[in-house]
Amino acid sequence: MANMNYCPKCATPLESRLEGGRDRMACPADHCNFVHFGDFSIGCAGVVTRVNNGVIEALLVQRGHNPFAGTWQIPGGYAENDELLTIAVEREVEEESGIIATVNDVVAFRHSLAGTTGGPSTNVYIIFRLDYQSGEPTVDQDEIADAGFFTLAQMESMEGVQGLSKWGIQQALRTKSGSGLSVGEQAGRQGWQIFGLTNVTR
């Protein structure tokens, strides 16, 4: 990963200074307050299940591109910096599989430091439980090579099902719908979403 040498706000050369308890690259210009805290990304993925002949199946997509081409995973991707997470995960599920589904709750998340998962930035990857609404799996046969609904038993005999995806599906199947972090009230702020536990008793 390339070092940041110039301020992205005003193009002034950055300098190292103590900021927030450690040395960070920061802009020395009087009119600018930019501090480089590092490179971060937010990923989101959706566990979408439906019942077929009395058996629960979960949606998987097969990656068409590297890294990890040919492997199977729950659909997902990166959230844009101006996109709410619930919108991002619903969009990614539809883009990758053609399935329309709506966010129910958050069942898990993973935090990984830069370089540990093949990505260039430190990443938070949030796994949502989504409610299936409509559609049958369809793919572009480019970024996504294939898609389908599979039982956990079928996944055991499939090659290349990613462990994190299988774990996320298991988390969703062994917990009650709505028992994870659910979208709360917006606190009156545009562009905010807050998540909390709502299915709790005292």
For the chain, give every domain's residue range. Answer: 1-38, 40-175
Which pLDDT does position 134 carry in this prediction? 98
The whole-angstrom distance between residue 43's C-alpha and the CA centroid of its chain comes to: 3
Cα–Cα distance for residue pair 175/124, rounded to 1 Å: 22
Mean pLDDT on 113-133? 88
Across the chain, mean pLDDT equals 92
Tokens of 93: 């599920």
Q: Which residues contact 9 (CB under 8 A, 6 or more apart)?
A: 27, 32, 34
Mean pLDDT on 108-137? 90
For tokens 């979208």, name the residue: 183
Which pLDDT does position 187 carry in this prediction? 57
Mean pLDDT on 6-32? 95
Which pLDDT does position 1 carry in this prediction? 43
Tokens of 125: 């990857």
Quickly name the fold that domain 40-175 has.
Nucleoside Triphosphate Pyrophosphohydrolase (3.90.79)
DSSP 25: E
Mean pLDDT on 142-152? 96
pLDDT at residue 68 tops 50: yes
Mean pLDDT on 33-52? 94
The whole-angstrom distance between residue 9's C-alpha and the CA centroid of its chain comes to: 28
Cα–Cα distance for residue pair 194/186, rounded to 1 Å: 6
